[in-house]
Structure formats: C-alpha cells, structure tokens
C-alpha cells in the first residue's frame, strides 16, 4: 500500500516538473518574441504605382504586403531577395519600387513599355536584360557587379560601361547609340553593337575581347581593334577598310564576317 502511494507520488512529481518546465519555456519564448518585436524596425511603406509590377511582387514577396495591399519596403523578404526577377511581357510601364530590392542579382524585364529604369540602388545586380522597351537612357555606373548586360532594341543614344569592370558580355544592338564607352575592361569577351549610329568604336584596351559584332552602323564608322587578341569580327564590307587594324586582324588569321554574316576570304578595299 505504502509502495503504491510512493510510486503514484513520484509520477505526479514528474508530471508537475514537466508542466513547470513547459511553462518556463513558454515564458522565455514570449519574452524573446517581445524583445525581437521591440527591436525590429518599424515598417516603411512605399508605393508601387504600376499595377502589373505590384501584382508580380505579390507572387514573389507576399509577406511584404499588408492585408489591405500596402507594400512594406523594408521587409526582410524584400531586402534579402537575391533571386531572379523575371517580368517579361507583363505590360509594365514603371519599375518604381525596385530600388528596395537591394540584394537582387538578376533582372529580366524584357518586352515591356519601360521608359525609365533606375537601378542605382540595385548594386548586387550581375545580369540585366532590359531589351525591347522604350529606354532613351541607361545608367549602370553603380552596378559594378554586372557580368552580362542586354539592352538591345531601345532608343538609347549613349552607353557608358567604363565602370563595369566585371562585365563579360554586352548586347546593345538596335539602338541609336553614337557613343559607346568601355574603359579598360580586361575581361570583356563579347560585344554585340550592330544597328546603331556609332562613328568611332575603339576596343583596343579590351584585351580579353574575342568576338565583336559592329555591322550595320554608318558607312564612315571607324572600328579599331587589337588584331592579335580578337578571334571573330562581324563588320560591313564598306567599313572594313576605314582602319588598318582590320586588315591586320585578317592577315593575322582572324575570322572576318561581312554584312550578311558571310565569310570574307579575300580582303579587298573598293
């Protein structure tokens, strides 16, 4: 009898101990949550004026929106978002609000109606695809991590990538570009700039360049290359004789292609 009472009391003590431990853990959790909530910065709301862009953001960072649709610009899911933002053919006219995605690495906004693109705050960007829009200007001077840039089929008149020392591939075809600045980028490997309004294109300082396509520019365009580094050159037949470095490139054994991407076997100036 006494033994049974002792056993029952022992079990009751174990249950009581577990209840006490569980209660203590709940109290600690509540205290930790209160401290965390207290230390968390207050929400900063921002407008996303383009309804189509806003609808897309709700699919990738749903927690950054309040029940009544307000956008919390400093929400962790926004500031830490480091994946691709793919918004091709979304009928978007403005990407205002993208500046809050400071960790964004890849942006693909191809084929929209964007006239202004401010990515000065998106310094983590490595890949930017913004072709087939209505851009007249593109400032990438703050995006020093860019590896690939495609801004073709816009209305850009000047493009400066001299600050983008990590750039490997540039596609800027089919714009209105008269001035293209590369700086001394020593890892840039491919440049596609046909169908522009270039007058002078000097790539002699881009020592890693292996492929250049600059055809369908004005007849008086002067293209200056390093004949001992380049591998493939696409250039119009009527501009290939505007600078001696092109002939030196061909004589060295470089691959030379004409207006229709045909192989130029014999170098003849008319």
Q: How far apart are CA 243 and CA 222, in angstroms?
A: 6
Work out how many domains the chain is built from and give that number.
Answer: 3
Tokens found for residue 150: 């495609």
Residue 140 domain-assigned (yes or no)? no
Q: Within 10 A of 211 (CB to CB), how many other CB atoms are there?
A: 15
Note whether 228 and 245 are same-domain residues.
Answer: yes
Query: CA 26, 28, 31, 33 torsion: positive or negative?
Result: negative
What's the alpha-carbon Rg for the chain, to the nearest Å? Answer: 30
Strand ranges inside 64-115, DSSP E = 71-72, 84-86, 106-108
Residue 139 domain-assigned (yes or no)? no
Provide the residue-wise pLDDT of the chain in tens; the chain has 270 residues.
444 444 545 554 554 455 554 453 333 334 333 333 456 789 999 999 999 999 999 999 999 999 999 999 999 999 999 999 999 999 999 999 999 999 999 999 999 999 999 999 999 999 999 999 999 999 999 999 999 999 999 999 999 999 999 999 999 999 999 999 998 899 999 999 999 999 999 999 999 999 999 999 999 999 999 999 899 999 998 899 899 999 999 999 999 999 889 998 888 886
Q: Which domain holds residue 153?
A: 147-270
Q: What CATH number is associated with residue 60? A: 3.80.10.10
Name, in order, each residue with C-beta under 8 angstroms of 39's C-beta and a sequence gap of 6 or more: none
Note whether 113 and 203 are same-domain residues.
Answer: no
Residue 142 domain-assigned (yes or no)? no
Estimate to the nearest angstrom the gap between the alpha carbon of 167 and the chain centroid. 11
Note whether 50 and 160 are same-domain residues.
Answer: no
Q: DSSP class of residue 83?
A: S
Note whether 181 and 269 are same-domain residues.
Answer: yes
- Is 118:102 a contact under the CB 8 Å cutoff? no
> Roughly how many angstroms between the first and final C-alpha of the chain, as a whole number?
120
Q: Quote the pTM value.
A: 0.84
Residue 194 domain-assigned (yes or no)? yes
Note whether 253 and 241 are same-domain residues.
Answer: yes
Note whether 129 and 166 are same-domain residues.
Answer: no
Residue 79 domain-assigned (yes or no)? yes
Note whether 173 and 215 are same-domain residues.
Answer: yes
Note whether 160 and 202 are same-domain residues.
Answer: yes
Note whether 83 and 202 are same-domain residues.
Answer: no
């Amino acid at each position: 009898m006494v033994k049974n009472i002792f056993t029952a009391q022992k079990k009751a003590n174990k249950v009581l101990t577990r209840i006490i431990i569980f209660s203590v853990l709940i109290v600690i959790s509540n205290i930790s949550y209160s401290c965390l909530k207290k230390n968390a910065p207050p929400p900063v709301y921002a407008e996303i004026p383009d309804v189509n862009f806003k609808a897309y953001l709700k699919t990738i960072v749903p927690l950054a929106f309040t029940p009544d649709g307000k956008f919390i610009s400093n929400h962790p899911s926004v500031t830490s978002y480091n994946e691709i933002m793919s918004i091709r053919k979304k009928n978007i006219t403005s990407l205002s609000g993208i500046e809050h995605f400071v960790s964004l690495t890849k942006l693909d906004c191809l084929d929209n109606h964007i006239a202004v693109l401010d990515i000065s705050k998106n310094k983590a960007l490595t890949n930017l695809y913004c072709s087939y829009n209505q851009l007249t200007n593109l400032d990438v001077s703050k995006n020093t991590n860019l590896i690939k840039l495609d801004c073709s089929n816009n209305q850009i008149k000047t493009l400066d990538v001299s600050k983008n020392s990590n750039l490997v591939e540039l596609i800027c075809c089919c714009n209105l570009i008269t001035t293209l600045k590369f700086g001394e980028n020593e890892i840039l490997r491919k440049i596609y700039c046909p169908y522009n309004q270039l007058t002078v294109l000097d790539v002699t300082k881009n020592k890693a360049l292996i492929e250049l396509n600059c055809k369908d520019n004005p007849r008086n365009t002067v293209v200056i290359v390093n004949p001992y580094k380049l591998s493939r050159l696409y250039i119009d037949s009527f501009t290939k004789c505007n600078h001696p470095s092109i002939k030196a490139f061909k004589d060295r054994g470089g691959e030379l292609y004409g207006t229709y991407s045909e192989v130029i076997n014999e170098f003849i100036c008319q």
